Amino acid sequence: MIMGDPSSQKPAALVTGGAKRLGRAFIEALAADGHDVIIHYNSSADEAEALVKEIRGVRAIALGADLSKPEEAASLVARANQALGPVGVLVNSASIFEQDQLEDLGAESFHRHMTANTLAPALLTKAVAGQGLERASVVNVLDYKLFNLNADYFSYTLSKAALKTMTEMLAKSLAPKVRINAIAPGLTLPSAHHSEAEFQRVHDDNPLKCGSTPEDLVAALRFFVNTPSVSGQIVCVDGGQHFDPRLRRDVFEAL
């Protein structure tokens, strides 16, 4: 279902994982800024369709795809293009985030993380670059822990490290038509792995005494999308967690 009027003069924006959490904040901001929006979801169809109905002033559509299946990731931009026209803004926000360590590393979990968190963004970026637009912007969502490494969440961390490298590689190879940047959030929202009380305990326990918020990440996204002279940049939005010497383990265990 497509909602809204085709009045936007800005390029359509696709946000993976756009129905919930940070992805939803990105969708709401891009729609408020005048972009038609494509809300990608995997298992959150109800939330995605509800968000479509809330968007005002631009067109919005929800598209489902399992990004752990390369064929579904590879076709997502074409489906978005058919519905709303060329995708000029891509935000690779969806990811698998599961705990493992070297001691319990398994091939199945490792491959799922790498496929969803690295291969899918690569295939989506390839599709955006292949549309032939004069200008497009890709923003990848990384993690502050890439700059303050520990071995927790082993497969997840490796998949995000590969995405970081891809950001730097493609910023060079796709210039001048496609700009590639990335945001590395700190602890921003509670996750299924920890309680609200645990989250509140550690959220502001960082060098700046100010934990990152969805609004902070939206501000970084807007900077990258709206600044045509910037590419190949990665910004940590994390209250300084990326230089906190205590974080040699998962933040909830270290603090």
pLDDT tens figures, 127-142: 999 999 999 999 999 9
**pLDDT for 197:** 83
Strands (E), 52-110: 60-64, 87-92
Whether this prediction's pTM lies above 0.85 is answered by yes
User: Residues 222-230: what's their mean pLDDT?
Assistant: 99
pLDDT tens-digit map of 65-117: 999 999 999 999 999 999 999 999 999 999 999 999 999 999 999 999 999 99
Mean of pLDDT over the chain = 93
Domain carrying residue 204: 2-254
CATH code of the domain in which 47 resides: 3.40.50.720
Split at pLDDT 50, 70, 90, the class of 251 is low
- Number of structural domains (the chain) is 1
Residues 6+ apart with CB under 8 A from 37: 12, 13, 14, 15, 18, 27, 30, 31, 55, 58, 59, 60, 61
User: Residues 152-170: what's their mean pLDDT?
Assistant: 98
